[in-house]
Amino acid sequence: MIVVGGMIGLGKTSMARLLGGHFDSEVFYESVDDNPILPLFYTSSEEEIEKYRYPFLLQLHFLDTRFKSIKEALDNKHNVLDRSIYEDWYFAKVNNDLGRISDLEFQLYNRLLDNMLEELEGMPKKAPDLMVYLKGSFETVLNRIAMRGRSYELDESLKAYYHKLWEGYDEWVMKHYIASDVVIVDMDKYDIVNREEDAKEVIRLVEEKLRNKSE
């Protein structure tokens, strides 16, 4: 099982699709288009966020859908996940740091996550084989978000939130993510959608990491 991780907008869905096609595996995509809370999270005022607790509800929604996906993925031989349950904690922590998720909500979130991860211990596989982590400059993040054109992601006021997520993401992956090995793909360098040679090189990097893991 391979999980694709990384900052908003850097191309996780495209990477998951590429890897799924190459390895002839099922792809579990992030719940975005069918997510009723996501647009509210991005477009609501601070007063509405405080009243309706959209950040907390969003994290619960993602926790629920990703838990379902990873259970299905760990029960089969070959799968690719467009982000996974392991990264959810980082998003919840950032929103807690920003005061958008209260300390009490974050404590509840952590208890739910711990219970879910304990249940995964009973699965045929315990964890992913590899995380393909997409990193990039903040300028690349903003450009990619603008290019995909989701209107609720484009408000100028969101830049500070994106930067808060971006500035700590690499450190979280390098120092705190322990579920699997990691291969880093620099999205400032690679364009897997428009350049076939880049797509082939990324697949080579992933295959090499998987071979080294099995030896």
In one-letter notation, the amino acid at residue 18 is L
Contacts of 46 (CB under 8 A, 6+ apart): none
Query: Which is catalytic among the residues 34, 82, 88, 198?
Result: 82
Q: What is the side-by-side strand order in the sheet with 2-6? A: 26-28, 79-82, 2-6, 130-135, 181-186
82-93 core/surface letters (b: 16 or more CB in 10 A; e: else): bbbbbbbbbbbb
Whether residue 82 lies in the annotated active site: yes
Beta-strand ranges (E) seen in the chain are 2-6, 26-28, 79-82, 130-135, 181-186
User: Catalytic site residues?
Assistant: 82
